Amino acid sequence: MQGNIFFGLFTKNIGIDLGTSTTLVYIKGKGIVLYEPSVVAFKDGGNKILAVGKEAKKMMGRTPRGLFTVRPLKEGVIANFEVTAEMLKFFIKKVYHPNRFIRPSIIICVPSGVTEVEKRAVSKVAYKCGARQVFLIDEPIAAAIGVGLPIFEPMGNLVVDIGGGTSEVAIISLGGIVVSELSQIAGDYINEVISKYVKQVHNLYIGELTAEEIKLNLSIDKLSPENSGYEIRGRDKVTGLPKIIKISKDELREALSEPLRIIANTVKITLEKTPPELISDIIDKGVIMTGGGSLLVGLAELLQEEIGIPTFTSFEPVYCVIKGIGKVMEDFNFYQRVLIRTSKGI
């Protein structure tokens, strides 16, 4: 009952999916109110923030001297505390008008494999943004709730959440994580693989945003029946001059076969550690994939082939985690047992 005080009539409640690539914000009673890149642009040696989110991302790879961009989270955890706090303050201020008499309670997700030190860092950031109370929730749990899985039932639910910085595989039963594996082979790593492949095979240097655009064009919602070529622009490795090349989508998919197989192997490792009774449940129910990385063409089919279990990509996988946080906020009494309550002193 004590936790319910913090989610009562006299508080404003905010849910945050703080991701390596993107940050999403949910406000109780309003729904998802923000979807922005987790990027900050600096000026004057890092002392002055010039832009945050979408505007900062537009500047990536295009900055003049004295201006630079940074992603303050790396592989799912905070790499730069001060910058993360400033970024989060900016996002919250954009969608929520603070009241000095009513401070918000915040639920914020964390990767399930992070350390206690990393959890404290996330909590401190939220308190620095003016939170009255901060709760943490494991990302796979939030994703499972967002999908609508019966997480409190005595049965196994296998969730594969592929974000920008991490891929998380978790077996969930009775409201908790039974077995989990965390891998850094995720969206950002796939961008790097694309960049390296284009450089090594086609002698072309491309930027981070170009690599990400190529990856997005290999997603399920961009799938076209024909193997149309993809035009890529960059700088020639040999001459140093601008160059345009054309690569088939099949070639790019083949280039990504290694990271996709590593993700599939992470699922295998998780299943090898799973109790037999829960394996039986998973065979019946299948595997649910969430996160933006789950949209990569061929991943679901490869995973199903590797583990022999039906694999499904959830509806709107990018929003599963923030939807799960939203459900927790809207029905706090039912879901509060999955939350980790923090204090300013930790």
User: What is the per-residue pLDDT across 98-126, written as a single tens digit (0 to 9) for each?
Assistant: 666 678 899 999 998 788 999 999 999 99
pLDDT at 11: 59
**Mean confidence (pLDDT) of the chain:** 90
Please tell me whether 148 is known to bind a ligand: no
Average pLDDT over residues 172-176: 96
Say what percent of the chain tops pLDDT 70: 92
At 157, the pLDDT band (50, 70, 90 cuts) reads very high
Query: How many angstroms separate the CA atoms of 106 and 252, rounded?
Result: 41
pLDDT reading at 7 higher than 60: no
pLDDT at 210: 94
- Per-residue pLDDT tens over the stretch 289-308: 999 999 998 899 999 999 99
Please tell me whether 326 is known to bind a ligand: no
pLDDT reading at 96 higher than 90: no
Whether 64 is in a domain gets the answer no
Query: How many angstroms separate the CA atoms of 178 and 173, rounded?
Result: 7
Say what percent of the chain tops pLDDT 90: 76
Whether 266 is in a domain gets the answer yes
At 130, the pLDDT band (50, 70, 90 cuts) reads confident
Please tell me whether 213 is known to bind a ligand: yes
Rg (the chain; Cα; Å): 21
Average pLDDT over residues 13-40: 95
Q: Do 269 and 249 share a structural domain?
A: no
Average pLDDT over residues 5-9: 50
Please tell me whether 305 is known to bind a ligand: no
Please tell me whether 294 is known to bind a ligand: yes
pLDDT reading at 144 higher than 50: yes
Query: How many angstroms separate the CA atoms of 194 and 187, rounded?
Result: 11
Q: Do 211 and 95 share a structural domain?
A: no
Average pLDDT over residues 177-197: 95
- Identify the CA nearest to 111 among candidates 151, 81, 73, 156: 73
Q: Do 235 and 331 share a structural domain?
A: no
Please tell me whether 295 is known to bind a ligand: yes
Q: Do 98 and 236 share a structural domain?
A: no
Q: Do 241 and 127 share a structural domain?
A: no
pLDDT at 250: 86
pLDDT reading at 226 higher than 60: no
Please tell me whether 343 is known to bind a ligand: no
pLDDT at 222: 62
Please tell me whether 292 is known to bind a ligand: yes
Average pLDDT over residues 269-275: 95
Average pLDDT over residues 1-14: 58
- Per-residue pLDDT tens over the stretch 209-218: 999 999 988 8
pLDDT reading at 1 higher than 50: no
Whether 297 is in a domain gets the answer yes
Please tell me whether 212 is known to bind a ligand: yes
Please tell me whether 165 is known to bind a ligand: yes
Q: Do 205 and 176 share a structural domain?
A: no
Q: Do 222 and 172 share a structural domain?
A: no
Q: Identify the domain boundary among 220, 240, 255.
A: 255
What is the number of structural domains in the chain? Answer: 3
CATH number at residue 207: 3.90.640.10
Largest interatomic CA distance in the chain: 68
Q: Do 264 and 228 share a structural domain?
A: no
pLDDT at 225: 55
Q: Do 8 and 84 share a structural domain?
A: yes
pLDDT at 97: 78
CATH number at residue 113: 3.30.420.40
Whether 67 is in a domain gets the answer no
β-strands 176-183, 67-70: how paired?
unpaired
pLDDT reading at 57 higher than 90: yes
Please tell me whether 66 is known to bind a ligand: no
Return the beta strands (E) in the chain as ranges.
Answer: 13-18, 22-27, 31-37, 40-43, 48-52, 67-70, 73-74, 77-78, 105-110, 133-138, 157-162, 167-173, 176-183, 204-205, 229-236, 242-248, 287-290, 311-313, 340-341
Q: Do 309 and 236 share a structural domain?
A: no
Domain that holds residue 264: 155-185+260-315
Q: Do 21 and 32 share a structural domain?
A: yes
Q: Do 206 and 108 share a structural domain?
A: no
